[in-house]
């Protein structure tokens, strides 16, 4: 279980270690430990050239709502973001607007946020690509969310697909998608996935050297 007194430097080191891995290894270790609903839906994919992200979740959610202006809530949320986090948003079925864009990316990055995962729409992709900032989303849309969708709260438990995400759960995304690691097993899963990665690397080299798959399986076991 991670120490709740960990500072930004501690989290940065954990993020660096996760970023050496890949989502498949993390998902496999979660499955092995009985956590089988931690991979976000297949449609949450990187929409930016930067396609790897890692960090504790800074959660938020909003709901479809016509005619309302959530600017004050949005500003308060952006100013509350803490360093090393990943902004993760449940949009609760809103499909007619963008829920994240370049200005929000700029503001979040300035606060130390390492990327965003949005169960909704994204716009300003060219501008975000110029920043080298990773954003995972469900779709692209040019329409503003103002008057179409209301941000209601942040740093609360949210649900995307079948996955419940609590503040500070660990978020890891790459080209294959996004996986959520419950905060209480963040380090344990990291260590297990690092061991898996080492064994896979050794097995890969043996296979490239001509070892039959049956022999490699006998030596390294089921990976």
Q: Is the residue at 222 inside a domain? A: no
Q: Is the pLDDT of residue 7 over 90?
A: no
Q: Is the residue at 2 inside a domain? A: no
Q: Is the residue at 209 inside a domain? A: no
Q: What confidence category does residue 72 fall into, taking pLDDT thresholds of 50, 70 and 90?
A: confident
Domains: count for the chain: 1
Is 136 in contact with 41 (CB distance < 8 Å)? Answer: no
Q: Is the pLDDT of residue 23 over 50?
A: yes
Q: Is the residue at 175 inside a domain? A: yes
**Stretch 126-147: mean pLDDT, rounded?**
97
Instruction: State the CATH number of the domain containing residue 110.
Output: 3.50.30.40
% of the chain with per-residue pLDDT over 70? 93
Q: Is the residue at 219 inside a domain? A: no
What confidence tens digit (pLDDT) does each residue in 94-104 have? 999 999 999 99
% of the chain with per-residue pLDDT over 90? 76
Q: Is the residue at 217 inside a domain? A: no
Q: Is the residue at 206 inside a domain? A: no
What are phi and psi for residue 156, nearest 5 degrees?
A: -130, 160
Domain that holds residue 163: 8-195
Query: Comparing 217 with 25, which gets the higher pLDDT?
Result: 25
**Stretch 102-115: mean pLDDT, rounded?**
96
Q: Is the residue at 200 inside a domain? A: no
Q: Going along 47-195, which residue ranges are E strands? A: 53-64, 86-90, 115-119, 121-122, 135-137, 139-140, 149-154, 158-160, 163-165, 170-174, 177-181
Q: Is the pLDDT of residue 46 over 90?
A: yes
């Amino acid at each position: 279980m991670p120490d709740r007194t960990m500072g930004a430097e501690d989290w940065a080191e954990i993020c660096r270690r996760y970023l050496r891995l890949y989502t498949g290894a993390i998902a496999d270790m979660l499955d092995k430990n009985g956590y089988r609903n931690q991979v976000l839906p297949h449609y949450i994919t990187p929409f930016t050239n930067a396609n790897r992200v890692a960090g504790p979740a800074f959660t938020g959610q909003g709901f479809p709502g016509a005619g309302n202006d959530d600017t004050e809530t949005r500003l308060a949320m952006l100013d509350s973001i803490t360093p090393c986090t990943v902004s993760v948003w449940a949009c609760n079925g809103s499909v007619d607007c963008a829920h994240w864009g370049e200005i929000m990316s700029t503001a979040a990055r300035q606060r130390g946020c390492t990327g965003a995962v949005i169960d909704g729409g994204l716009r300003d992709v060219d501008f975000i690509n110029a920043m080298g900032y990773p954003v995972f989303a469900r779709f692209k849309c040019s329409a503003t969310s103002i008057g179409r969708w209301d941000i209601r709260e942040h740093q609360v438990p949210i649900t995307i697909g079948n996955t419940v995400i609590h503040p500070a759960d660990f978020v890891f995304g790459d080209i294959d998608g996004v996986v959520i690691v419950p905060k209480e097993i963040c380090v344990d899963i990291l260590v297990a996935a690092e061991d898996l990665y080492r064994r896979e690397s050794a097995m890969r080299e043996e296979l490239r050297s001509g070892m039959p798959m049956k022999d490699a399986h006998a030596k390294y076991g089921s990976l």
